[in-house]
């Protein structure tokens, strides 16, 4: 019999999702897996569990985007990474929606086990992994600053409720140098987004970023010179009508490495919905290729350039 470990975060998303965990043992047993479920007890625990696990055939992350980030962070630090799968139980679940998963945990297990094995790009910011987004600027703390009680009660609507209160926040510019493709530039920006996803913040951004792939050894960089709320409205208007590089307040490109050197220590980054605190002025972003995941077949042809062994054998 195969071995499966499920790392379950009981604090992810709505409280009603916790009941789904009781059904997981039986479903996995039907697929030939002997299963152990481990509950996380504090922030960072999923990473610790993943690093210390003995080898197993499959590791499932049952939680939100932040829990998945922790599991992948631990997996990268293992000598022998484990094959991963994600069971979304969070409030927004950007990554899972991108993969083509539903809100039904039992259905998602079947989608994973009947799916395909894929090698995915994982971005690193000063060595700290992020699966789909690292961002900096006003309002980006909404995902981790929104009170948990609101998220448990209202789901993703809680972020909107909290975000409306944040609109009074002043938009500040950061002076920096950035090096990409061997060239160094000097400028100032109010927002920086590093993404490897076609969804951010619960929104489908496939009409904004052109042809996002999760195995092309590249990530998307969008740096903005938004000064106020009116610029935000103008940007939303332009995004649907112009290419990103044709919008005056935007700088956009794809790369596999970028280095930022800030004039002063910048505020915290938001990575995969959680806060990355730091005391640095210099940040290097690159890609790790060590992680493999089981994914539903639904969106694979849209999100990946290369075929897996399973696909080639079909």
d(CA 163, CA 200): 15
Q: Does a structural domain hold residue 257? A: yes
Are residues 234 and 92 part of one domain?
no
Question: How many independent structural domains does the chain possess?
Answer: 2
Are residues 266 and 133 part of one domain?
yes
Are residues 110 and 10 part of one domain?
yes
Are residues 210 and 81 part of one domain?
no
The tens-digit pLDDT sequence of the chain (314 residues) is 899 999 999 887 554 455 666 778 888 999 999 999 999 999 999 999 999 998 899 999 998 888 999 999 999 999 999 999 999 887 677 788 888 888 888 889 999 999 999 999 999 999 999 988 899 987 776 665 555 665 556 555 554 545 555 556 678 999 999 999 999 999 999 999 999 987 665 444 555 676 789 999 999 999 999 888 788 778 777 777 777 878 889 999 999 999 999 999 998 998 988 888 899 999 999 999 999 999 999 889 889 987 655 544 44
Are residues 132 and 6 part of one domain?
no
Are residues 133 and 74 part of one domain?
no
Q: Quick one: which of 100, 102, 105 has its CA closest to 26?
A: 105
Are residues 278 and 180 part of one domain?
yes
Q: Does a structural domain hold residue 306? A: no
249 with 231: CB under 8 angstroms? yes
Are residues 132 and 59 part of one domain?
no
173 with 190: CB under 8 angstroms? yes
Are residues 199 and 75 part of one domain?
no
Are residues 200 and 90 part of one domain?
no
Are residues 104 and 234 part of one domain?
no
Helices 45-52, 65-76: axis angle to 10 degrees equals 40
| Domain ranges, residue 219 | 128-137+172-288
């Amino acid at each position: 019999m195969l071995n499966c470990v499920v790392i379950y975060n009981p604090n992810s998303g709505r409280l009603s999702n916790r009941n789904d965990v009781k059904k997981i043992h039986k479903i996995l047993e039907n697929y030939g897996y002997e299963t152990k479920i481990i509950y996380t007890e504090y922030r960072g625990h999923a990473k610790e569990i993943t690093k210390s696990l003995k080898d197993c055939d499959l590791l499932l992350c049952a939680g939100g985007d932040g829990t998945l980030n922790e599991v992948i962070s631990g997996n990268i630090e293992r000598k022998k990474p484990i094959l991963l799968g994600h069971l979304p139980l969070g409030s927004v679940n950007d990554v899972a929606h991108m993969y083509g998963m539903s809100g039904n945990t039992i259905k998602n297990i079947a989608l994973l086990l009947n799916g395909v094995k894929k090698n995915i790009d994982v971005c690193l910011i000063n060595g700290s992994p992020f699966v789909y987004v690292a961002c900096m600027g006003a309002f980006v703390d909404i995902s981790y600053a929104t009170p948990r009680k609101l998220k448990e009660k209202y789901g993703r609507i809680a972020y909107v409720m909290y975000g409306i209160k944040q609109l009074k926040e002043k938009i500040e510019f950061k002076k920096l140098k950035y090096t990409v493709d061997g060239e160094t530039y000097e400028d100032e920006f109010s927002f920086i987004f590093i993404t490897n996803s076609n969804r951010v913040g619960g929104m489908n951004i496939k009409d904004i970023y052109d042809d996002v792939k999760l195995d092309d050894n590249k990530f998307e960089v969008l740096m903005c010179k938004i000064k106020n709320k009116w610029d935000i409205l103008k940007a939303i208007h332009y995004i649907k009508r112009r290419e990103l590089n044709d919008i005056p307040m935007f700088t956009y490109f794809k790369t596999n490495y970028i280095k930022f050197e800030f004039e002063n220590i910048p505020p915290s980054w938001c990575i995969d919905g959680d806060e990355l605190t730091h005391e640095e002025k210099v940040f290097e972003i690159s890609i790790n290729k060590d992680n493999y995941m089981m994914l539903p077949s639904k969106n694979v042809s849209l999100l990946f350039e290369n075929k897996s062994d399973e696909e080639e054998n079909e």
